Structure 1
């Protein structure tokens, strides 16, 4: 097999077919990319693809798709695409290449034919420890903050943040990781040289300079509505788990969660206000079986996707109150004081169940600590001690 011919053929397939077409992948798996391109040009199925009977449904479907791709072949210019890619510093990564992530093979017949990459980071290496952070485009300040902080903390711990480069949660996740000098990968529904949405142009430039932009389409390809949903399978496949930070009921982020679940990846969701329309999708994931894992911080995400028994999330520390630092006898004396009135030392000692010298000693310490104060008739709680 001619390796160069195979690469050119795969580059051509990314231009003439929609990403991850099952029929095309079936053909490529059986005869290779080069022979598939020959079949498309001729419009005839090779003998090894023809079924036992003339009306074999699988062969008929393949022949129909060949005709469709043959029409689109006239507009494909792989040589030009590869020249433009070389000029822009874009590389083509194919199945079997050292940089090809083997996790993409989990997609089976929905696997990409090849990937166009722009940026210095190594895709396969970066995806060994990776988490997808996805969510609503019309995100709330709450969702943007959670995505940014979670991505930043993941980046500080060396975890690659994978997202789709869109407005809202995606952009917040990429920017949070960049701010922490962490690794991040954007999976695009257009060419890696096409800044879409335009408002993220600066972020895309920074990703291309420091991290990685990835697309299934050649340079210059403009986005199509359906491809945003189709690329979500790649986001899910490249990651150990997917976190839906914020999502409406019909959010495209839910399709990423669907693919993650289908591929056996961990599905996580961040809860939000029950009154927020942009968190309805997250709550559906948390409620409907099989339920997603509820996460609220980066440590919980890492525990879910990290090494068993190694990446455990620490138990959140309870707030330490000043009275927590008192010894048991002092706390007992403090609790014996009435809430609103004053009491004498003997009354306090009796209620606390301690002798009078102990009560006087502890009252002195509590006074020095600002818990109690002298008053007509004995001791009373200070205003600070009465506060919750």
Structure 2
């Protein structure tokens, strides 16, 4: 059921008065709805029975009431509309129901800019996160994963930050795929400024998403709080590169708490930029080690359908031999030569079989006859593929 205009306005106002993810406000909304929660914030209604306020809650209500007096929700909605954006609320067709897994810390509403449908884009989506001060290795891996996920029809969700986030977004865009950036500020402000060109491109092909109304500046707490949204929107989170004190590990913790698939890309063993990834791989339960998109899709895709192929080494000519012929070949000494009878005993076959297979191996270029018996060719020729 689509949110009414009154509910939409109330949720927009609540976005302006409270920080994202306030569990107390989430409980109020769950108990009396967004309009009732706004009435409680205004002081028009008492807190409902069953919602414990406490001293900390009263302080929050006082702070929210002060912010509400300074807020201009009509102006926020007008700015959003002027930018071609929209506000999406629980109950709207575009609302991703996976956000409901956040419980009391579910977003009050989301402010969006961009042509993609958020709910549809997130049905098959993967979060790619990592360090801002990424290495060339990490940037390359993030861009490749983003592009290959897009080629496979999956959306890439990240935080729009410098480093791994931006590389993953750019990779998806380069493959003409959909990508979603979750901001810690209003969607009217491009932060960091160095990614402005990236965000402009996403306005034509992806989505910019925020829990905060236009005009909101980023802050460190908001970066950490928005990470829960990145984790909740997606089927799984891939940490490409992260130091031991990286914000990406905060996103990883949210993914694990929400029951999403947590994956990590290994890096060089001595790299500080990958120390956080290696820690995730050693924890209990460990993150899944992934090195390619096929492995990511095996973790987040459909059971029995999106299976990664088993890694195999190069196929050698001797791999094409039948078991008996291979046994005869393996029976030849590494140095020197041996007679047919000696080879037959070592291979565990009779003399007639050994003699026949030795002839086949000679014709195929694996061995050669000498005065002392059969020996391996120094440089085996490739078998002739023609009959």
TM-score, normalising length from structure 1? Answer: 0.85
Does the 8 Å contact 1:246/1:282 carry over to 2? yes
Q: 1:359 to 1:313 in 2, by over 3 A?
A: closer
Partner of 2:263: 268
- Segment drifting more, 177-186 vs 252-261: 177-186
In structure 2, distance between residues paired with 1:183 and 1:34: 34
Q: Deviations over 1:173-205 (max 9, x none)?
A: 212222222222111111223222222222211
In structure 1, distance between residues paired with 2:196 and 2:40: 40
- Segment drifting more, 71-80 vs 198-207: 71-80
In structure 2, distance between residues paired with 1:34 and 1:277: 49
Partner of 1:49: 48
Partner of 2:319: 324
3-state SS of paired residue (2:148): helix
In structure 2, distance between residues paired with 1:360 and 1:237: 63
Q: Deviations over 1:82-123 (max 9, x none)?
A: 122112111100111111111111111111111011111111
Q: 1:336 to 1:48 in 2, by over 3 A?
A: closer
- Asked if 1:301 corresponds to 2:292, the answer is no
Matches within 5 A, 1:144-223: 144-223=139-218
Q: 1:9 to 1:99 in 2, by over 3 A?
A: same
- Asked if 1:120 corresponds to 2:124, the answer is no
3-state SS of paired residue (1:116): strand
Q: 1:336 to 1:288 in 2, by over 3 A?
A: closer
* Number of residue pairs aligned between Structure 1 and Structure 2: 373
Q: CA RMSD in A?
A: 2.9
Partner of 2:347: none
Following superposition, the deviation at residue 310 of structure 1 comes to 2.7
- Segment drifting more, 347-356 vs 192-201: 347-356
3-state SS of paired residue (1:49): coil
In structure 2, distance between residues paired with 1:187 and 1:69: 24
TM-score, normalising length from structure 2? Answer: 0.86
In structure 2, distance between residues paired with 1:145 and 1:374: 52
> Unpaired segments of 5 or more residues in structure 2?
345-350, 382-387
Q: 1:58 to 1:219 in 2, by over 3 A?
A: closer
Partner of 1:10: 11
- Segment drifting more, 94-103 vs 147-156: 147-156
- Asked if 1:67 corresponds to 2:62, the answer is yes
Partner of 1:30: 31
- Segment drifting more, 158-167 vs 321-330: 321-330
Q: After the TM superposition, which parts of structure 1 deviate over 6 Å for at least 4 consecutive aligned residues?
A: 373-380
> Unpaired segments of 5 or more residues in structure 1?
none
